A and B are shown apart, each in its own frame.
Chain A
């Protein structure tokens, strides 16, 4: 296990209900785990617990053999990188400046980037195919380009674990597939572990080794995509009729049905 949760419950301050209840999760090194489920199911909370931003009310969150919250941020950032939905689009930075900030956990207060740092930055920009745009202001990038730049920034941290919080939420079908393909390559070539929160069941069915289906703060089902993407489980989680189609090489695809196809018992 590279990271995980043991018997975790978590409640946000001032809330009357738990965001997570009795959650056990084990992430093995080198795998891609997708966290899926309806809004408010607790997916992003799990990422925050794994990064130590939040600490469990009950149970234990471990990251690389330690309590997740016990890590100094700087040490953690050398092992774990996070790509989320957005936030810095308005900041005037070039792509290269943004990506270089991924070296932050390796630098002293005054030291400049070394030649080694520059090599890593260039390699990561190249790997996300942004070399031609590296001098561009990030505010002028398209959504897909910006997310690739943010992925490059995360890769520059040389992480063993990549945590993705709906990184493709604003991307179209092609850019989303491209983004996930890139992440997938890293899992294969570098053995990077991926934990991804997503709403896109079909894409994660293709890229994830395991899926965790959450609903109302509990794990409904954990296992390979085939076992998780069943109409019964998805309907129970999303309260909406779902058809699942097996597309052979492309894996299983979940398709939300129309309400009149079942006896809507919401």
Chain B
């Protein structure tokens, strides 16, 4: 309970920081004007630009973290996450292909669907490669994920080379992510399908707990393993695909965030999943604030920030996994 309150407080602080970070600095009076809704540059920037951006960041971070938690439970591997499994770049390829074929960037439902298709293709290929005698070899899995990811990113860049720049977002967006395109319409559309997905995944918490003991044991404890796995893989991929379709490919959130939450002693998915959502929201809002301010007025890609935090942690976890 204490941890949950601390998380909510941190999220509030993160949102406040996210709202005040940026090229334009507003004095307290402008904030009050904006809160009252008085027309002016402060109101426009805070309500139309920064708040949607912060909300998109929070949702994207939360979804990526939950996606990581679910993949980790299903694969019984703390290193599993959508970016490293190739799911994110698969989603990016799906989205870019659909856009290149003429889908409008404001197709708020069709675009994530295309991304989901790409994500599922990626995960299918990775699993097929890593399956040894009916079981997934975790080391091969991550290796295959990274290689498939490199290939899909290459495909994305190839398409971007040939398609006119105004139809598609930049290569930066599709390889390192950005929250700059956030809008309220995009957010509402995203909530329509991610909220049910999150609710179902939260509801599967006990089953995910059981699955961490292994599939056979989980079955003996009363879990319908096959259907739980199928639903959870699909929804975790959907969350990652949704994140990619609004914010591009942002790596390592699904790795770092659940790990940090576990470090506080939380293992039960009934707490781990919602807390990871909140912590992921917090982390990505802060990462975006950093991306906007570190080299202001220039903006660095948010994926650079998350990689700087995520890669060292990945290496530490990998080292630990190899040793044991």
Question: A residues within 8 Å of B by Cβ?
Answer: 51, 53, 72-78, 80-82, 84, 87-88, 90-93, 97, 101-102, 104-105, 107, 109-110, 157
Q: A77-B220, A110-B270 are in contact. Are A87 and B206 (CB under 8 A)?
A: no
Asked if A109 meets B213 with Cβ closer than 8 Å, knowing A73-B224, A93-B267, the reply is no
Q: Of residues 173 to 213 in B, which have CB atoms within 8 Å of A's CB atoms?
A: 203-206, 209-210, 212-213
> Are A84 and B270 CB-contacts (below 8 A) given A76-B222, A109-B204?
no
Q: Which residues of B contact A110 (CB under 8 A)?
A: 203, 270
Residue in chain B with minimal CB distance to A90: B324
Q: CA of A109 to CA of B203 in the docked complex: distance in angstroms?
A: 6
Contact B223 A104 (CB under 8 A): yes
By beta carbon, the residue of chain B nearest A13 is B134
Q: Evaluate contact between A104 and B221: CB separation under 8 angstroms.
A: yes
- Which interface residue of A53, A73, A74 has the most chain B CB atoms within 10 A? A73
A107 contacts which of B206, B213, B220, B224 (Cβ < 8 Å)? B206
- Which residues in A have their C-beta under 8 angstroms from that of B214? 87-88
Bound-complex Cα distance A90 to B267 (A): 13
Known: A91-B212, A91-B213. A109 touches B220 (CB 8 A): no
Assembly CA distance A104 to B224 (angstroms)? 12
Q: Judge if B219 is at the interface, Cβ distance under 8 Å.
A: yes
Inter-chain contact B203/A88, CB cutoff 8 Å: no
Whether a CB of chain A sits under 8 angstroms from the CB of B217 is: yes
Contact in complex: A109, B206 (CB < 8 Å): yes
Shortest Cβ distance from B197 into chain A, in angstroms? 15
- Sample 24 A-B pairs with CB under 8 A, ordered by A number: A51-B219, A51-B220, A53-B219, A73-B219, A73-B224, A73-B225, A74-B222, A74-B223, A75-B222, A77-B221, A77-B222, A78-B222, A80-B220, A84-B216, A84-B217, A87-B216, A88-B213, A91-B212, A101-B209, A104-B210, A104-B222, A105-B222, A109-B205, A109-B206
Cα distance, A182 to B74, chains bound together (Å): 34
Which chain B positions have C-beta within 8 A of A53? 216, 219
**Docked complex Cα distance between A74 and B207 (Å):** 11
Residues of B within 8 A of A90 (CB): 324
B28 to chain A, nearest CB (A): 43
* A101 in contact with B222 given A87-B213, A109-B206 (CB within 8 Å): no
Q: CA of A81 to CA of B217 in the docked complex: distance in angstroms?
A: 10
From the candidates B213, B220, B324, name the one contacting A81 in the complex (CB within 8 A): B220
Given A77-B221, A78-B222, A81-B220, A104-B206 contact (CB < 8 Å)? yes
Smallest CB gap from A165: residue in B: B216
> Which residue in chain A gives the minimum CB-CB distance to B213?
A88
- For chains A and B in complex, what number of residue pairs have CB atoms within 8 angstroms? 61
B217 surroundings in chain A (CB, below 8 A):
82, 84, 87-88
A61–B295 Cα gap in the complex (Å)?
69
* Residues of A contacting B225 in the complex (Cβ-Cβ under 8 angstroms): 73
Complex CA gap A87/B209 in Å reads 14
Q: How far is the CA of A259 from the CA of B28 in the complex (A)?
A: 93
Give A182 to B231 CA distance when docked, in angstroms: 39
B230 to chain A, nearest CB (A): 15
Q: How long is the Cα–Cα vector from A178 to B212 in the complex, in angstroms?
A: 28
Is B206 in contact with A73, judged by CB distance below 8 angstroms?
no
Instruction: List the B side residues contacting A82 at CB < 8 Å.
Output: 217, 220
Please, how many angstroms separate the alpha-carbon atoms of A257 and B295 in the complex? 80
Bound-state CA distance A187–B216 (Å) is 24
- A sample of 12 more A-B contacts (CB under 8 A), given A101-B210, A109-B206, A110-B270, is A73-B222, A73-B225, A87-B214, A88-B214, A88-B217, A91-B212, A91-B213, A101-B213, A104-B221, A104-B222, A109-B205, A157-B221
A38 to B204: give the CA distance in the assembly, Å.
40
Inter-chain CA distance A264–B220, complex, in Å, is: 42
Minimum CB distance partner of B219 in chain A: A73
Q: How far is the CA of A82 from the CA of B222 in the complex (A)?
A: 11
Residues of B within 8 Å of A107, CB to CB, are 206
**Also in contact, A101 and B221, with CB within 8 A (given A109-B204, A110-B203):** yes
The answer to whether A92 and B267 touch across the interface, beta carbons within 8 angstroms, is yes
Nearest 5 pairs of A and B residues by beta carbon: A77-B222, A105-B222, A74-B222, A82-B220, A87-B214
Q: Which residues of the other chain, A, contact B221 by a CB distance below 8 angstroms?
A: 77, 101-102, 104-105, 157
B203, B204, B219 — which one has the most chain A CB atoms within 10 A of its CB? B219
B219 cross-chain contacts in A, Cβ below 8 A: 51, 53, 73
A-chain residues with CB within 8 Å of residue B270 when the two chains form the complex: 110
A51 CA to B218 CA in the complex, in Å? 13
Distance to closest chain B CB from A45 (angstroms)? 13
- Distance A146 CA – B35 CA, assembled complex (angstroms): 59
In the complex, A78→B221 CA distance in Å?
A: 8
User: Considering the chains assembled together, what is the distance between the CA atoms of A109 and B219 in angstroms?
Assistant: 16
A185 to B209 CA separation, bound complex (whole angstroms): 30
Nearest A-chain residue to B203, judged by Cβ: A109
Q: How far is the CB of B204 from chain A (nearest CB, A)?
A: 7
Chain A residues contacting B267 (CB-CB under 8 Å) are 92-93, 97
Instruction: Report the separation of the CA atoms of residues A74 and B223 in the bound assembly, to the nearest whole angstrom.
Output: 6
Alpha-carbon gap, A81 to B222, bound state (A): 10
| A87 cross-chain contacts in B, Cβ below 8 A | 213-214, 216-217
Measured CB to CB, the closest approach of chain A to B133, in angstroms, equals 10
Residues of B within 8 A of A76 (CB): 222
